[in-house]
Amino acid sequence: MEIFLDSSDIKEIRQLNKSNLINGITTNPSLLASVKTDFKILLKEICKEIKGPVSAEVTASNFNDMLKEAEIFKKIAKNIVIKIPLTQDGLQACHALSKKKIKTNVTLCFSPSQALLAAKAGATYISPFVGRLDDIGENGIELISDIRKIFNNYKNLKTKILAASLRTVDHVNKVAVIGADVATIPAKIFKELYKHHLTDKGIEIFSSDWKKSGMKILP
C-alpha cells in the first residue's frame, strides 16, 4: 500500500519526506488556502520535493470551468493529478480528462455506487472518506471493504482506492488489511505509525543492558 501525505505545508513535507516512505501528496482547497501562499508556487515546490502523484483539487462546480482549472493545474508540473468532486459534472470532467490520459482523483466519495461510477468514468483514484462517515454513525472502513470487493469483481476497473479522512493508526491498519491501494494521512498520523509502547520499552531494556556491559561498538 502506498502512503500519501495529506498536507500543503512544504516544510512539513520536506521534513517527513526524508524518511523515503512518502509516495505522494493530496491537497484540497482548504489546505491550500490555510497556507496563504500563491497556490501555483506552492504546488510547484511540492511537486519538486515529491516525485510521485500530487493531487490538486478544482474549485469550479461546472464541467467547463473544471476543465479550464485542470489545464491550469497541469501546466504547473507533470506529476499533478486533477482532483475532482464526485458530482455529475465532476464525473463528466473525469471522463473527459481520462480520455486525454490526464490522471484524476475523484474525491468526496461516501458510497460504493459513487465509487463504481467514478471507476467507470476512468478515474485514476477514488477517494472514499472514512472518518467523515464515522462522524455520522456509519462505518467508513466497511465502505473501503465494499469498494474493494466491487473492484475485484470487475477486472476491467483499474481505478485505485485512495482511502482518505483517516484519523487514527487503526484506520491505516484496517484499510491496509482490506487492500486499499493508497492511504492518505495527515503528518500527525504518519508520525504515529512508527510508535508502539513495546518498541520503546524494548529499546530502553536493550540500551540499559548494553550500558551495563561497558562495551562499545563505535570507538
Tell me the percentage of the chain whose pLDDT exceeds 90.
95
Domain spans, the chain: 2-213
Average pLDDT of the chain to the nearest whole number: 96
The answer to whether 74 and 51 are in contact (CB under 8 A) is no
List Cα–Cα distances, 123 to 56, 63, 89, 203, in angstroms.
14, 15, 14, 45
Measured distance CA(75)–CA(69) in Å, rounded: 10
Active-site position among 44, 83, 155, 188: 83
Block residue for cell numbers 472518506? 129
Q: In sequence order, what are the beta bridge partners of 26?
A: 6, 55
The CATH number, out of the four listed (3.40.50.1370, 3.40.640.10, 1.10.3720.10, 3.20.20.70), of the domain defined by the range 2-213: 3.20.20.70
For residues 125-141, average pLDDT: 97
pLDDT score, position 6: 97
Confidence band of 98 (pLDDT split at 50, 70, 90):
very high
The answer to whether 22 and 180 are in contact (CB under 8 A) is no
For residues 67-94, average pLDDT: 98
Alpha-carbon 61 to chain mean position = 22
The answer to whether 127 and 107 are in contact (CB under 8 A) is yes
Active site residue 36: no
Q: Assess whether pLDDT exceeds 90 at residue 91.
A: yes
Largest Cα–Cα separation, the chain: 72
Measured distance CA(153)–CA(112) in Å, rounded: 13
List Cα–Cα distances, 138 to 120, 129, 204, in angstroms.
25, 11, 41
The answer to whether 70 and 62 are in contact (CB under 8 A) is no
DSSP annotation of 103: -
pLDDT score, position 36: 79
pLDDT score, position 198: 97
Q: What is the pLDDT of residues 31-62, one digit of tens each?
A: 888 887 899 999 999 999 999 999 999 999 99
